[in-house]
Amino acid sequence: MSELQERAAELDAADPLAGKRDAFVLDDTVYLDGNSLGALPRSVPGRVADVIAREWGELRIRSWTESGWWTAPERIGDRAAPLIGAAPGQVVVGDSTSVNVLKAVVGAIRLAGEGRDELLVDESTFPTDGYIATSAARLTGCTLRPLAPADIPAAAGPRTAAALVNHVDYRSGRLHDLPGITAALHAAGALAVWDLCHSAGALPVGLDEHGVDLAVGCTYKFLNGGPGSPAYLYVRRDHQPRFDSPLPGWNSHQDPFGMRPDYEPADGAVRGRVGTPDILSMLALEAALEVWDGVDITTVRAKSLALTDLFLEATAGLGLEPLTPSAHAERGSQVALRCPDAGKVMGELISRGVVGDFREPDVLRFGFTPLYTSFTDVCRAARVLGEVLNDRS
């Protein structure tokens, strides 16, 4: 056993989250793609089977009330809220992240009020956020200014309505300074909208603590909600009375079953809803969130950093350039390595039982989900990567 393997075995033996691995359906592949699609929690199949057979099959329409389907978006929002540092009543689950980006950004610009006609956006953002920010700017008459997140504090000024920023960059795994950027935007009188897709479930976010205005995120990565599971929208409590959604569907009406022609928004997080929720995915997510019972997100963060530290150390001699910062304060829960022929290298890794992914143009991405990734997995992934590179050279 190498020194690294011995250390990994010791870290696994001392890991307070080690027992959580059994809560997931896993095999002997090393699964390092939970930053794209989280593994299946064992609590999900039985729950989904019951929703289909009993709630839908037997109760049918009665389930909207008797099985709590109608209120699932806000109930599950409250269930997810502690993971992103939000008190109850501010998070609603539904729609995709893309759709929630539109609600949040247009909502933020409307909250910023007259005379503010500039929207800042993270220039390295995940594409969907950029496309939707562009459309949101057109819809509201704002000018869009793409910037590096680190330049946002200096750029925010009296014309700035809001900024849309990714908490963790999907490609590099860089963690951006949510408290600092949010405070700088507030000092300029602007609002902060954060995309939490790559941070929720991997590290403490602290939405309430840092006064974030609006936030969105998906639930199929570190929250393990399943393919296409619904996203969420956070609207800070004091903004809710003035939150003016660009998608005011009947589900966010004060009296949805009044079927009235005039729109009167509901109070609270419900105001972020649009149309009929996707109940099967939503209730699968609710079951998936059970694995978080008793889990402290600071423990998750400590393990995440230890996993990525070990992987960076174990791959340091392979001649690949890490895009992921070495400073803990700047790192999410993935490691991105620049690699010639990255697509082919990843294909080879997958065929040898190590699943990460490849992002254009030359990035190998490895996501570390602390609830089910072991330190021994990290060692094996680094060893197999070394073998693949060696065989290709």
Ligand X SMILES: Cc1ncc(COP(=O)(O)O)c(C=O)c1O
Residues forming contacts to ligand 3DJ in the complex (CB under 6 A) are 36, 126, 170, 197
Residue 220 assigned ligand-binding role: yes
Report the residue number, 118 or 169, with the smaller CB distance to ligand X: 169
- Told to judge if 174 belongs to the known catalytic residues of this protein, a careful annotator would answer no
124 binds ligand X (CB under 6 A): no
Query: Which residue of 122, 195, 278, 286 would you call a contact of ligand X, by CB under 6 A?
Result: 195
Is 135 a residue that touches ligand X (CB under 6 A)?
no
Residue among 140 and 224 whose Cβ is closer to ligand 3DJ: 224
Q: Which stretch binds ligand X (CB under 6 A): 57-65, 126-134, 136-144, 258-266?
A: 126-134
Whether 243 is catalytic is: no
195 interface partner picked from ligand X, ligand 3DJ, none, CB below 5 to 8 A per type: ligand X
Among 5, 29, 128, 135, binds ligand X (CB under 6 A): 128
Annotation marks residue 236 as catalytic: no
- CA 153 to CA 89: how far, in whole Å? 29
If contact means CB under 5 to 8 A according to the sort of partner, which of ligand 3DJ, ligand X, none does residue 240 touch?
Answer: none
Answer whether 166's CB lies under 8 Å from 160's CB: no
Q: How far is the CB of 232 from ligand X (least distance, A)?
A: 11
Rounded to whole angstroms, the Cα distance separating 62 from 372 reads 37
By CB under 6 A, residue 111 contacts ligand X: no
Q: Which of 24, 31, 126, 372 is catalytic?
A: 126
Binding of ligand X at residue 126 (CB under 6 A)? yes
> Rounded to whole angstroms, how far apart are CA atoms 52 and 229?
16
Task: Identify whether 344 is a catalytic site residue.
Answer: no
> Of these residues, 33, 78, 195, 278, which one is catalytic?
195
Phi, psi (deg, nearest 5) at residue 218: -95, 165
Based on the shown chain and the rule CB under 6 A, indicate whether residue 121 belongs to the binding site for ligand X: no
CA dist 165 and 215 (Å) reads 9
Please check whether residue 43 is in contact with residue 288, taking contact to mean a CB–CB distance below 8 angstroms.
Answer: yes
Q: Are 307 and 372 in contact (CB under 8 A)?
A: no
What would the two tokens of residue 227 be? Answer: 């393919």
Give, rounded to a whole angstrom, the gap between the first and last alpha carbons of the chain. 26
On whether 129 is known to bind a ligand per the annotation, the reply is yes
Catalytic residue among 31, 170, 220, 368: 220
- Report, in Å, the least distance between residue 16 CB and ligand X: 28
170 belongs to the binding site for ligand X (CB under 6 A): yes
276 is in an annotated binding site: yes
Residue 387 CB neighbour total at 10 angstroms? 14
Examine the residue annotation and report whether 126 is marked as an active-site residue of this protein: yes
Q: Is 250 annotated as a binding residue?
A: yes
Confirm or reject binding of residue 33 to ligand X (CB under 6 A). Answer: no
Q: Write out the two tokens for 11.
A: 């870290």
Interface residues toward ligand X, by CB under 6 A: 96-98, 126, 128-129, 166, 170, 195, 197-198, 218, 231
Q: Which residues are annotated as a binding site for pyridoxal 5'-phosphate?
A: 97-98, 126-129, 195, 198, 220, 250, 276
Which residues are the active-site residues? 126, 195, 220-221, 365
